[in-house]
């Protein structure tokens, strides 16, 4: 967890300096191939698409633009590979995952630099994400050998009740651009650990990190067809997604991304009654009660809001501050926000990068303009930082938020803090819970009864109490309501990838 916190320090850590001094750079515009059935492959159509650095618009890579033809080959290969991968021992799978983890650790700097080049994340954050993503590979390499069935006492002396957990088969993993390593690792390591095979479809904006991960998976020794990655442009994504959902050889889908696309996949999986894991959007409340330690609340607000420039599904979205401490909190917050350094993520000391692409910039700009047109007051920021590049948006604080504003109702996915004053705990909870999504929620209080009461009553899948950064491989990640289905990470993270098989052995004498 600490790796993300370091981005708030006023000067770059020694680790950042060391990373920058390594001077490792991915070759600009280098052509990468996707990986299907143990072969590094171009698209059957021969098409490619460019990958851009959002900080400056430079082309940093070129990858195959694959469509359903390539995806079908990947599915067939994964299905064939499943027939033997499912019969490997837990120890064998654990050892290959561990080798993958070791290679990812050895190549941490290189992966982080690729990530910064294609996602715009400050290098120190990319480095933090690699540590975080790797931790899932390590976790599931350890968990692989701990998955046990049951023998349940039967009421009939002649019968034995056995319960096994078996891999479901081929799974399609559709992942977003905001965590190009961790979202692949969290899904793939869990699936592979129990004996499933995978077809990964990374986001158009960030395929290079995914390809890099798969290079180390190959080196670690996963047999051909067990791990496949299909890169596709935004234009081909809906068809590729549909094929993964509808092909009868695919047993399940795990998706992280927008609620809109999650709904499409849910529908497409319905006919085949596919296993489906969905990690969708949130609208996280961040409540500061009057008993809170304000400095802790302010530091946590910065971590929760500005990690990946606000482009995080667990980012604090609605800041609710009890009226008694509102002015003090705002004063401390503004002071810290004004110190944040925005720029090209590979430059020393940068804490905030650009937004990922033009639609994201337009979205954030429209949300803020909408709020201001309805009476919100800009305390700081409030516009694109055009002097830095085309996709930068100033860290922004708004007050005077009202329920008719888009920022109040929707996930902002940008560096914008919206502050609302409340009087009572009931009012704060009512505001927190009055939405259709429920991923993460945060609150700050030193009142122990309030801590238990509010964490029980917040309608979310994950609660941070006096803490703004809650994600880690050991804890179950997921939401309630329209924020999704299932849990990733933790001991529960394998459930999406296993069937429960009950065997009754009868007529025993
Ligand atoms: N919950 C979360 O963590 C995330 C939430 N979001 C939210 O979504 C908004 C839009 O971001 P966006 O990138 O468009 O998110 P999407 O949900 O569109 O993208 C996530 C992944 O789904 C793929 N995809 C897109 N359309 C389909 C489809 N019809 N069938 C199958 N796969 C599909 C994308 O491919 P491709 O990139 O090629 O389009 C990408 O790999 C953001 O502003 C944010 O609010 C976005 C990312 C992550
Ligand atoms: O924003 C997301 O898509 C995933 C959340 C990152 C995390 O695991 O904290």
Asked whether residue 3 is assigned to any structural domain, the reply reads: no
Asked whether residue 443 is assigned to any structural domain, the reply reads: yes
Residues 273 and 328 placed together within one structural domain of the fold: no
**If we measure between CA atoms, which residue out of 127, 119, 110, 11 comes closest to residue 344?**
119
The reported pTM is 0.95
Asked whether residue 441 is assigned to any structural domain, the reply reads: yes
What CATH number is attached to the domain comprising 290? 3.40.309.10
**Dihedral through CA 296, CA 301, CA 137, CA 151, nearest 10?**
70
For ligand 1, the distance from its centroid to the CA atom of residue 259, given in whole angstroms, is 8
Asked whether residue 366 is assigned to any structural domain, the reply reads: yes
Residues 139 and 197 placed together within one structural domain of the fold: yes
**If we measure between CA atoms, which residue out of 78, 97, 100, 80 comes closest to residue 89?**
97
Residues 173 and 317 placed together within one structural domain of the fold: no
H or E element, residue 241: helix 237-246
Asked whether residue 131 is assigned to any structural domain, the reply reads: yes
What percent of the chain lies above the pLDDT cut of 90? Answer: 94
Residues 298 and 382 placed together within one structural domain of the fold: yes
Is pLDDT larger for residue 11 or for residue 444? 444
Residues 304 and 218 placed together within one structural domain of the fold: no
Residues 198 and 100 placed together within one structural domain of the fold: yes
pLDDT band at 29 (very low <50, low <70, confident <90, very high): confident
Per the listing, tokens 């810290």 go with 336
CB 470 within 8 A of CB 439: no
Residues 261 and 308 placed together within one structural domain of the fold: no
Residue 473 beta carbon below 6 angstroms from any ligand 2 atom = no
Residues 102 and 250 placed together within one structural domain of the fold: yes
What CATH number is attached to the domain comprising 54? 3.40.605.10
125 is a catalytic site residue: no
Asked whether residue 477 is assigned to any structural domain, the reply reads: no
What lines the ligand 1 site, CB under 6 Å?
Answer: 174-178, 201, 203-205, 232, 234, 237-238, 241, 256-258, 261, 264, 279-281, 313, 360, 363, 411, 413
Residues 492 and 345 placed together within one structural domain of the fold: no
CA gap 3, 15 in Å, rounded: 10
**Mean local confidence (pLDDT), 258-267:** 97
Q: What would you measure as the largest C-alpha separation in the chain, in angstroms?
A: 82
How far is CA 141 from its chain centroid? 20
For the chain, the domain total comes to 2
Calculate the average pLDDT of the chain.
94
Residues 245 and 305 placed together within one structural domain of the fold: no
Asked whether residue 1 is assigned to any structural domain, the reply reads: no
**Mean local confidence (pLDDT), 312-339:** 98
Residues 23 and 121 placed together within one structural domain of the fold: yes
Asked whether residue 490 is assigned to any structural domain, the reply reads: yes
Q: Write down the catalytic residue from 279, 394, 425, 495.
A: 279
CA gap 117, 450 in Å, rounded: 44
Residues 229 and 330 placed together within one structural domain of the fold: no
Q: Which domain holds residue 420?
A: 284-471
| Nearest CA residue ID for atom 13, ligand 1 | 176
């Amino acid at each position: 967890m600490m790796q993300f916190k370091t981005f708030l320090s006023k000067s770059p850590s020694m680790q950042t300096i060391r990373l920058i001094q390594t001077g490792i750079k991915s070759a600009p515009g280098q052509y990468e191939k996707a990986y299907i059935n143990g072969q590094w492959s171009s698209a059957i159509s021969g098409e490619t698409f460019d990958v851009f650095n959002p900080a400056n618009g430079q082309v940093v890579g070129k990858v195959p633009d694959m469509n359903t033809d390539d995806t079908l080959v990947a599915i067939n290969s994964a299905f064939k590979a499943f027939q033997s991968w499912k019969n490997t021992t837990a120890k064998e799978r654990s050892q290959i995952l561990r080798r993958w983890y070791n290679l990812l650790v050895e190549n941490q700097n290189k992966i982080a630099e690729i990530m910064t080049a294609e996602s715009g994340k400050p290098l120190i954050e990319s480095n933090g994400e690699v540590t975080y993503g790797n931790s899932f590979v390590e976790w599931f390499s350890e968990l692989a050998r701990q998955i046990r069935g049951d023998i349940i006492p039967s009421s009939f002396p002649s019968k034995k009740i056995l319960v096994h957990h078996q891999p479901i088969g081929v799974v399609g993993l559709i992942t977003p651009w905001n965590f190009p390593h961790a979202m692949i690792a969290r899904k793939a390591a869990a699936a592979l650990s129990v004996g499933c095979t995978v077809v990964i479809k990374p986001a158009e904006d960030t395929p290079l990190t995914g390809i890099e991960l798969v290079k180390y998976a190959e080196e670690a020794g996963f047999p051909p067809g067990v791990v496949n990655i299909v890169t596709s442009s935004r234009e081909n994504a809906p068809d590729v997604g549909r094929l993964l959902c509808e092909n009868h050889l695919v047993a399940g889908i795990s998706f992280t991304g927008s609620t809109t696309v999650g709904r499409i996949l849910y529908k497409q999986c319905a006919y085949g009654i596919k296993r489906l894991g969905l990690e969708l959007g949130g609208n996280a409340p961040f409540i500061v009660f009057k008993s809170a330690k304000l400095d802790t609340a302010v530091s946590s607000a910065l971590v929760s809001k500005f990690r990946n420039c606000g482009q995080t599904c667990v980012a604090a979205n609605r800041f609710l501050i009890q009226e008694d401490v509102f002015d003090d909190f705002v004063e401390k917050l503004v002071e810290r926000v004004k110190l944040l350094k925005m720029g090209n993520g590979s430059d020393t000391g940068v804490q905030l990068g650009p937004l990922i692409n033009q639609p994201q910039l337009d979205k954030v700009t429209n949300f803020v303009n909408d709020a201001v047109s309805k009476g919100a007051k800009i305390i700081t920021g409030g516009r694109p930082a055009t002097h830095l590049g085309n996709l930068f948006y100033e860290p922004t604080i708004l007050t005077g938020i009202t329920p008719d504003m888009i920022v109040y109702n929707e996930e902002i996915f940008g560096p914008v803090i919206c502050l609302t004053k409340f009087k009572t705990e009931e009012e704060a909870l009512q505001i927190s819970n009055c939405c259709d999504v429920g991923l993460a929620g945060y609150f700050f209080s030193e009142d122990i009864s309030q801590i238990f009461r509010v964490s029980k009553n917040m309608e979310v899948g994950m609660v941070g109490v006096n803490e703004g950064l809650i994600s880690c491989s050991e804890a179950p990640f997921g939401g309630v309501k329209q924020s999704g289905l299932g849990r990733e990470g933790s001991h529960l993270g394998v459930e999406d990838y296993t069937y429960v098989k009950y065997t009754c052995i009868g007529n025993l004498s």
